[in-house]
Amino acid sequence: MTFYQELQLNQAGSKNLLKKSETLKEKLYHMWVYLVKIAVTIAFCFFFVSIFSILFGNENSIVGVVVLLCLMVFRNADLGIRTGQSTMLLALFFVIMTVCPHLANQSSPVLGMLLNIVALAVLILFGCHNPFMFNQSTLGLGYLLLYGYDVTGKSYQMRLVGMALGAALTCFVFYRNHKNRTYKRNLKDLIQEFDITSSRTKWQICQILCVPIVLCIAELCNMPRAMWAGIAAMSVILPFMEDMHYRVRKRIVGNIAGVICFTVLYFLLPSSIYAYIGILGGIGVGFSAKYGWQAVFNTFGALAIAAETYGLQGAVSLRVIQNVFGVVFALAFCVIFYWFMSKKDRYKQ
């Protein structure tokens, strides 16, 4: 494996190489490559998002985050169908992520929920046909981030331009990387494979319905940062209940641990470098191969931003409440939904 190829490995792949190292020299080499990868990734992400902030305004820095996320994922991940149709779908996804979160924010919570259901239905049904590729962690997360950091007026006009640029970049990279691959299935096959009795379709329906309902309830209860509850719910909804139980536990424990660590750093570090705690969290995520540790370090970035608006106590309270509510509601929703569907299937038999 070349140096470049090793740089392309994810955290689990890099750590697997470290475990398999037979000599100290080999282990030190793989560790060095791993550290280089983390440093390059953090530097590139910081530079990329900064460029978007400069071009389209600080309030649209989240656009840089969403575009970067899509670029990094879809340069390797596919949608399971012909490249040309997948590219057009990606363009459509960007339109949905640009328009629908903004319209939902301008509507009442209930009307916004209905709009979110329609938007997520397109993203999930056509973009997340293979649950184990975790495209929902890209498309769903991107949608919720843009929903949570909505803008209006001139800033929204700049967001339109930024997302258009992001769509062009993502589609170009995706088509270039996948054009020589052969796919036997097409868009029609995705539609025909929709089967309410399959675990995949049930999982998709849970994502489509549960996440918007969580957002709606949080907003009706006047809870700020409703997207946190939505993201928490989205991240734990998986096709198999055993996996979902695992994620719910790790999300709650990891979130609480992250809050505690952030609070300690907040009091130990000078206020002039509070903003860099989020970067520290990004580095931690880079070193984390397991979901529980990722939940810990993801908390840093979220709290670093929220603490500026709500203060430390308010941000910490919101983070814990929103995450616990999101994952517990998602688990209860899916348990009831799967029970109802199993009962319906037995009745048909």
pLDDT tens profile 226-273: 999 999 999 999 888 888 999 999 999 999 999 999 899 888 888 777
Rounded CA gap, 315 and 306, in Å?
5
Query: Are 101 and 150 in contact, with CB atoms under 8 Å apart?
Result: yes
Give pTM, 2 decimals.
0.88
Give the model's pLDDT for residue 216: 96
- Sole residue written with tokens 């030190």: 28
Average pLDDT, the chain: 88
Predicted confidence band of residue 139 (pLDDT cuts 50, 70, 90): very high
Distance of CA 173 to the CA centre of its chain: 20
Give the model's pLDDT for residue 160: 96
pLDDT tens profile 146-172: 999 999 999 999 999 999 999 999 999
Pick from 84-93, 249-258, 271-280: least confident: 271-280
For 45-71, b/e burial (b = at least 16 CB within 10 A) is beebbeebbeebbebbbbbbbbbbbbb
Give the model's pLDDT for residue 227: 92
